[in-house]
């Protein structure tokens, strides 16, 4: 895991606070581009809806890891490292 400075930690914490509002039981979290996730959901005929949160590429792994380890949220199978947005599937 990369080492972040104080400003980066502040930005990550504000994104975590936004994502935490959208987290519900039985949801999944991951990081990937909006267009790719919507196409994957359509192709796999999943009924889940995605909620997106824009972030810097270097922050996406830290945010997803926080929710997977600390909040016990399931990591989505559509997750990829270093992506421009974090998504929550409900």
Q: Is the pLDDT of residue 36 over 70?
A: yes
From the number of C-beta atoms within 10 Å of its C-beta (0-12, 13-18, 19+), residue 36 rates as middle
68 assigned to some structural domain: yes
| Average pLDDT score, the chain | 94
Q: Is the pLDDT of residue 1 over 80?
A: no
Which residue segment(s) compose the domain that 34 sits in? 6-89
HEC sequence for 7-44 = HHHHHHHHHHHHHHHHCCCCCEEEECCHHHHHHHHHHC
Q: How many domains does the chain have?
A: 1
The pLDDT tens digits of the residues spanning 18-28 come to 999 999 989 99
1 assigned to some structural domain: no
61 assigned to some structural domain: yes
Residue 90's closest CA among 31, 33, 26?
A: 26
CA distance 86 to 63: 8
Quickly state the pLDDT bin for 15 (edges 50, 70, 90): very high
């Amino acid at each position: 895991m990369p080492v972040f400075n104080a400003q980066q930690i502040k930005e990550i914490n504000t994104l975590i606070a936004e994502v935490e509002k959208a987290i519900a039981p039985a949801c999944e979290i991951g990081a990937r581009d909006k267009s790719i996730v919507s196409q994957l959901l359509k192709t796999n005929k999943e009924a889940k809806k995605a909620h997106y949160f824009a972030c810097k590429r270097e922050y996406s792994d830290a945010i997803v890891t926080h929710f997977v380890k600390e909040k016990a949220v399931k990591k989505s199978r559509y997750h990829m490292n270093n992506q421009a947005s974090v998504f929550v599937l409900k």
